[in-house]
Structure 1
Amino acid sequence: MSHSDYSFTVDPAALGLPSRDELVDMRIWDSHYHGTGSHEEIVKYIKRMGIERVISLDIGGGVTSEDPERDKRHRSLLKEWRKLLSGITRIDPGYPHKSLKKMERWIRNGPCIGIKYSGLIELDVTCDHPNSDPIIELAEELGAVIYIHTWIKVGGNPRYAGGGNYTGESTPMDVAKLAERFPDVQMICGHQGGDWELGIRAIRPHENVLLEFSGALPTSGAVDLAVNELGTDRLVWGGHGPSRSYANELSKVYDADLSDEERMKIFGTNYRRLAAPIMREKGYSVKI
């Protein structure tokens, strides 16, 4: 890809937006990437937006979805795109023993750097269930990144926040309960729970919980509230591509009243600090 392919149709400066060079200077790490299945098509957009590294949340599929050919493709992809792409693997607290075996295969003896609690759990078991204890203990031993999908859907009869969630789909309140049991283990609360005002406040007392805010609409003020309540050291950034655009997700941080140093923390420094030990163990050179 030539440098000309990175140009934008409209001059970003004319709209008060950052140039590609300015985005590159931010050293952006995308902690929430779903483009594994079409990576070769998407990578041009990753590079065009100056993203330094993307973290796939889909490596190895679910714990009950055996597919040797898929696993072979995923390992090959992580090897071929090692300078740009890292991966974490999905676990399921409904199947703790299978989850532990998967972590051994993909993290201890494989290329992955962490685990993801998915939003599509087969059984009605959220992240705070006791089944999670051996999973978190092994993750701590491995130094693995822990990402937990969370959402707060209104539903039920009578209706309440969280009453419309999928079976086994965790909320930030569930993350708070898990974090209280493991105060020395850092974990990421994904999507800010969808409802950012409730999600931010749910995890606020637990300093071992970082907040990731991809996937929702780019509401002005959401990141400002998160910074006011949690501080910039507890936020990480995700692009949620290809189902969300980088413009959508980048705008949340650029909308906030932040210095460039604070933006850099959110865009990548905080995630690099979290992931650096296991990445260095895997042979990556990580400059925080």
Structure 2
Amino acid sequence: MDYAGTIKPMSDYNFAIKPEAYGLPSRENLVDMRIWDLHYHGLSSHAEIMPYFDRMGVERVFSLDIARLRGGGGTVSAAEAEKNAQENIALLEKEHERMSGIIRIDPTRVEETLELIDRLIANGPCVGIKTGRPLDEPVTVAHPNYDPIIRRLAELEAIIYIHSGYMVGGEPRTYYGGTRVGEAHPGHVAELAARFPDVPLICGHQGTDWELGVRAIRPHKNVLMEFSGMDPASGAVDFAVKELGADRLVWGCHAPTRSFANELSNVYDSDMSRSQRKMILGGNLRRISASIHRRKGIPVDI
């Protein structure tokens, strides 16, 4: 992969139409937002995908797939997982000016997870973790297995991203009965937040049901809500700003499985000030990750 990780100047982009003529943000406006994207899944096609981040003026992306103990559902061997991790780490180190790295953890294997955290976060280039695997074991973030993991991450001031969703289903049918057995919903995030009230946590995917998700985490000031990976809904971010405040929201594109049009529309549809948009699109993420980035030698201008 030979992508050079520097945002190209606006003069390199001659758009066929002027976005502002259609009520859309110009690239100059997007660059001014200093966008940090928390949700990037494009490592396998990184060189092909990143020019689109340039075009949209994205300042930094967070890859959620740098390393894991095992692959999806255990289908990837330990040797293959390690080989993938080494390739991803090499790319991360090359792209450190534009990309930050997140690792996946396995809460059913606490000691191995702690070793991975020490190897790749405490003593390596990564800045945080993502939960959500394995989903076939009854260990959500509400489980006590998470306590030593969170304590270690708190010591490192690392990013803690929690895959989260309310899935309707079950018998009898409830608003969370379809959530997979090892998959957290915002209620589980709230339980963890109550045990660690001083540790910043990020509740991912707006809890899938943003009205229920926002209400579940609302009492816990240490929890931020991430908007990514779901269909845009007019009024969703307005509601979250009203209930949580703009300083508790972060943004992700979820590329390549979601588009900039999909994800940015949530923020630009909302009735808020320029300063609030800047917080949501990057300022809040810079604030909570500044310390861990600086430990890695990456300066962060909040």
Question: Which TM-score tier does this pair reach, normalised by the shorter chain?
Answer: over 0.9
**Structure 2: which amino acid aligns with 1:32?**
H
Q: Note if contact 1:6-1:47 (Cα within 8 Å) is conserved in structure 2.
A: no
CA distance in 1, matches of 2:220, 2:113: 25
Q: Secondary structure at the match of 1:250?
A: helix
Structure 1 position 75, deviation (Å): 1.0
Residue 163 (str. 1) matches residue 177 (str. 2): yes
Task: Tell me the residue number matched to 2:44.
Answer: 37
* 1:163-208 Cα distance to aligned partner (Å, 9 max, x none): 1112300000000000000001010000111000000000000000
CA distance in 2, matches of 1:224, 1:69: 43
Residue 125 (str. 1) matches residue 139 (str. 2): yes
Structure 1 position 35, deviation (Å): 0.8
**Structure 2: which amino acid aligns with 1:201?**
R
* 1:225-250 Cα distance to aligned partner (Å, 9 max, x none): 00000000000011111000011111
Q: Note if contact 1:32-1:54 (Cα within 8 Å) is conserved in structure 2.
A: yes
Residue 61 (str. 1) matches residue 75 (str. 2): no
Residue 227 (str. 1) matches residue 234 (str. 2): no
Q: Note if contact 2:154-2:199 (Cα within 8 Å) is conserved in structure 1.
A: yes
Structure 1 position 31, deviation (Å): 0.6
1:107 to 108, 121, 143: 121
Identity rate, percent = 56
**Structure 2: which amino acid aligns with 1:55?**
F
CA distance in 1, matches of 2:207, 2:124: 30
Structure 1 position 4, deviation (Å): 6.1
**Structure 2: which amino acid aligns with 1:274?**
I
CA distance in 2, matches of 1:56, 1:36: 7
Q: Secondary structure at the match of 1:32?
A: strand
2:219 to 185, 192, 205: 205
In the TM superposition, 1:1-288 aligns within 5 A as 6-63=13-70, 65=76, 66=78, 67-118=81-132, 120-288=134-302
Structure 1 position 36, deviation (Å): 1.4
CA distance in 2, matches of 1:203, 1:73: 37
Structure 1 position 124, deviation (Å): 1.6
Change (3 A) 1:120 1:16: farther
Aligned residues: 288
Scaled by the length of structure 2, the TM-score of the pair is 0.92
CA distance in 2, matches of 1:119, 1:15: 42
Structure 1 position 96, deviation (Å): 1.4
CA RMSD, 1 decimal: 1.4
**Structure 2: which amino acid aligns with 1:35?**
G
CA distance in 2, matches of 1:113, 1:98: 18
Q: Secondary structure at the match of 2:54?
A: helix
Any unmatched runs of 5+ in structure 1?
A: none
Structure 1 position 5, deviation (Å): 5.5
Q: Note if contact 2:69-2:113 (Cα within 8 Å) is conserved in structure 1.
A: no
Q: Secondary structure at the match of 1:161?
A: coil
**Structure 2: which amino acid aligns with 1:279?**
H
Structure 1 position 17, deviation (Å): 0.7
CA distance in 1, matches of 2:124, 2:12: 34
Q: Secondary structure at the match of 2:102?
A: strand
Q: Note if contact 2:10-2:27 (Cα within 8 Å) is conserved in structure 1.
A: no
Structure 1 position 270, deviation (Å): 0.4
CA distance in 2, matches of 1:7, 1:135: 48
* 1:61-111 Cα distance to aligned partner (Å, 9 max, x none): 345652232112111110111111111111122221221111011101110
CA distance in 2, matches of 1:9, 1:133: 53
Q: Secondary structure at the match of 2:202?
A: strand
Structure 1 position 8, deviation (Å): 3.3
